[in-house]
Each structure stands twice: as C-alpha cells, then as structure tokens.
Amino acid sequence: MLSANRKSLVAWTPLSVGFVLLGCLAGGSADTAVGEPVVVAVAGLEETRSFDLVVEQGVIHGLLAGRFGERDRVAYLHSADGGKTWSEPTFLDAEDEAPVISRRGNDARLAVHDRHIVAVWQQRGELPGTGPLTVAASADGGRTWRRGRNPALGDPLNNQSYPALTVGEDGRFHLVWLDDREENGNTQGLRYATSSDGLHWSGQTTLDSAVCTCCWTRISTLPDRSVAVLYRDADPHDMRLLRGPVGDGQWLDLGPVGVAGWHFTGCPHCGGGLVATGNDGKTVLHGVAWTGKDASPGLFYARSPDLGEHWEPPFFLGDGRSRESDIAARSGSDLAIVFTRAGADGTAVYVVRSRDAGAHWSAPVALTSPKASADHPRIVATPWGYRVFWTITRPGGGKILVMAPPFS
C-alpha cells in the first residue's frame, strides 16, 4: 500500500505565448482576454509525459506521468478550487519497480466515483516501448492506494496500451485497451473488462480483433448501464462506435462517427472525443473525430439522439489542419470542443462552443499563439466553467503541462 502526505500547492507560473480565451466559456462576453496560460507546477515534476483529468463533485482529479527527479513516475493530485491550487502529488508506483511509459496519446487514465478512484497506466516491459497495464485503486479519496490485478488475462506478449477508463453512476468501472495477442502485426485488438472496485476485473471481452494500432479510444457510460466506445478501425480507418453490453451481453456495432470511408495504410496517431448528455429526457451522444480522407480531411463534430443508432450530418470544425480534440459538456445544451490546428510556425489550440446542444457552433477562437508547439488538449466542465489543459514543447525539448487561468 502506498501513501503520502498531501499539502496545498499553488500551481501558477505565467507562460508568455500570446493567449486569448472566449469569455463566454464561463458565461461572459465573447473574445475576452484573460491573461497568459500558466504552467501547472507540480512539486518535483520536471517533464510531463502524460496526463488525465476527471471532475467529480466539483473537484478536478488529475493523473500525471512524467519525470520526477531521475526517473519517470505516475502521480495523483487534485484541485478543489477549479485549478487555482493543487495538492502535492501522491505517487502510485514504487521507486524500485519498472517505470511508467505512458505518453501523450497513450495517456494514463483515471476514473472517480465519490471517494473511490481507479488509475490505469502502462508500465515498461522487457522490450523497449512495450509493457503491461498497471492498475491501482484508492477507497479513501486518493490518500492511499492498492494494486489491482491486470485485467488483460491471456495476452502472452504482456503488452497493453491505449487504455480508456470510465465509471457509471452505479460505481462500476469500465476499461478498454489495445493489445496484439493474435500477433497480427499491423493491427491490434480492442478489449473490454469491468470491475466493481478496480482491484478485481471480469474476464475480458474482445470487442474488435483488428483495430488501428496507435490511436486513443474514448469510453462513456450511459443511463441504461451500457457504455459507448469510440475507437479507430483498421480498414477503413474510420472512427467507429460500439455500445454494450446490452440484452444478453451483446455489443452493437453502430458504424462510423463523422466522415466514413477513409482507406489508409499506416497509423494516424489520432483518436477522438466522446461525451453523453441528457436533453429533454433523452440521452444524446456527441462525438468529435478526425479523418485524413482526401475529399474531406479535418475534424468533424457529430451528434446522435438515439445512442448511436443514427447520426446527424457532421459539422466541420476549423479547417483541414484541425486535428487532436476533446469535448466536454456543462449541461445538455452547453458543449465545448478544444482542438489543435497546425500552421506554418507551430501548432495552436482552439476552442468552439455550442449553447443549443450542438446544433450550432461558435467560430474557433485561439487559446495560444499560432507559433505555440501545443498538443493533445483536454477540456473539463467544472462549477466555475470550462477548464482547458494541454502540453507544450519547450524550446530545449520536453513537454510541460499548461492550463488556462481560472476565470468566472
């Protein structure tokens, strides 16, 4: 069992990259400048490899993987004031074990239900760049942690990656990941397992035996206790949706999300975003997905009013250079999407917002300078408004974790 003392840590270091934020994200007028983005200064963290964020009962819970001192470690921290201050990190791995190898795109994952927290990350294995999933669970709000069993039984290669994790209102945790136990070589299999405590996992189910090898997945719980899984297929390379288990444990293949029919040899290293909302007594799925299809490259938002059975025509976000994305919702009608857009001098982060459940979207507004070297933005909904995080590459190399300053 691992534990640590936790103290309040002020986490603000200005970062001059030319920052403008939509004031309407927190209820103000549009195009309101709120100052420079700030580095989330975690005690002892020298470089950020991976992060995940979950909001539960107004608290932002964070899972970080990165360089602490002389080795890479994984740590939990939280903020109860919308990101103004953060607790000191609690390490989930021991100093004498193999280090975490989770990285941006293949991020460590977190799920929170009341005081029960589960974390999943990839640990270094015998071969470079490979290794098994590691699971840890806390029953006391992140103060102490216990190791759970690796849910990937039957994988002789002991190499699992690209996890996605969520928890339902009933407190049951749901996990998907990729592994290549069939040894297909140019594809992996999408697996699923579930747990009531994060320590013991059900026998896994193969949802798709041949998917893209290196694109992140997203998973969301639904009111009927099923889950929706958004992932990139192998051929064609479309983002697809699965929902289950339903009925007698079956999974429904609900087809492509966004633009369909992208045939491509290789891996784009780009997943999508997914969120479920309640609107007028119905559950609506909102997906955001990137495609490299020649006729329509770029990022698209899509909405389904019937749990993925049918999708309305997708909405084009940004332009053909728009790519990495995330989506969050503060209500059934209030949605926001963040994404990256590559330019001649760098990669910037942009945000768009809808106040009518995705029917219409604002024009994109930049959160960073066009010269920024930003990647993999995340957005979460808090009682104080949306909060946006991303990593940025320093001039000398290595990534740092950055967030928009609190505003209201």
The residue among 344, 326, 343, 324 whose CA lies nearest residue 335 is 326
Whole-number pLDDT of residue 80 = 96
The pLDDT of residue 21 is above 70: no
Q: Kindly list the distances between the CA atom of residue 213 and the CA atoms of 58, 257, 298, in Å, as whole numbers in the listed order.
A: 35, 19, 20
Are 121 and 100 in contact by the 8 Å Cβ rule? The answer is yes
- pLDDT range class, residue 35, cuts 50, 70, 90: low
- pLDDT range class, residue 10, cuts 50, 70, 90: very low
Tell me the C-alpha distance between 220 and 214, whole Å.
20
Whole-number pLDDT of residue 408 = 37
The pLDDT of residue 19 is above 70: no
Phi (first) and psi of residue 25, to 5 degrees: -60, -25
Whole-number pLDDT of residue 73 = 96
Burial of 394 (0-12, 13-18, 19+ CB in 10 A): exposed
- pLDDT range class, residue 16, cuts 50, 70, 90: very low
Q: Give me the mean pLDDT over the 253-269 stretch.
A: 94
Q: E strand or H helix at 292, and its extent?
A: none
Tens digit of pLDDT for each residue in 348-363?
999 999 999 999 999 9
Tell me the C-alpha distance between 334 and 59, whole Å.
20
- pLDDT range class, residue 26, cuts 50, 70, 90: very low
Phi (first) and psi of residue 23, to 5 degrees: -60, -30
Tell me which residue has tokens 């193999």: 98
Tens digit of pLDDT for each residue in 129-156?
899 999 999 999 999 999 999 999 889 8
Are 6 and 79 in contact by the 8 Å Cβ rule? The answer is no
Report the share of the chain in percent with pLDDT over 70: 90
Whole-number pLDDT of residue 296 = 93
Residue with the larger pLDDT of the pair 201 and 19: 201
Whole-number pLDDT of residue 186 = 86
